[in-house]
């Protein structure tokens, strides 16, 4: 099974960015954790701070599933929502923090309705849960 783990803006700063909100794990730590937890999965990883690049990555993905943390773009991007809806690949949206316990503008996700599921507020464990769902779904 092939899974793309795609991360949006500012997630390249994980580990140093607001550790009280996002924890101390870096993107590299999350990637290592997933590869260790799911040796049967072939992962590809990408991160971008640019909306159009995220759209292009979704459209080019030739994988069995996508774990996508759109970060702040979840709350603003119709383009990302439409890109998810346009592809035949199941996408699970992930947020490290509990967006519903934060600022009101974070309480709505434009992208979630186009996804097969949403995991929020469980820290970096959310990535593992999303991958587990995609693996089980493919059986």
Q: Which residues are catalytic?
A: 22, 95
Cα–Cα distance for residue pair 134/65, rounded to 1 Å = 6
Give burial (CB, 10 Å; 0-12/13-18/19+) of 117.
middle
Q: Rounded to whole angstroms, what are the CA distances from 55 to 50, 68, 114?
A: 9, 11, 14
Please say whether the beta carbons of 119 and 129 come within 8 A. yes
Residue with tokens 């346009």: 86
Cα–Cα distance for residue pair 32/117, rounded to 1 Å = 23
């Amino acid at each position: 099974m092939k899974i793309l783990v795609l991360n949006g803006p500012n997630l390249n700063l994980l580990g140093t960015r607001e550790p009280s909100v996002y924890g101390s794990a870096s993107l590299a730590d999350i990637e290592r954790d997933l590869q260790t937890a799911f040796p049967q999965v072939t992962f590809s990883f990408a991160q971008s701070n640019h909306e159009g690049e995220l759209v292009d990555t979704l459209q080019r993905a030739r994988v069995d599933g996508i774990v996508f943390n759109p970060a702040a773009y979840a709350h603003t991007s119709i383009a990302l929502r439409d890109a998810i809806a346009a592809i035949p690949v199941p996408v699970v949206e992930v947020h490290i923090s509990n967006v519903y316990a934060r600022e009101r503008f974070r309480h709505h996700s434009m992208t979630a309705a186009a996804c097969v599921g949403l995991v929020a507020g469980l820290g970096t464990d959310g990535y593992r849960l999303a991958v587990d769902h995609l693996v089980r779904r493919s059986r």
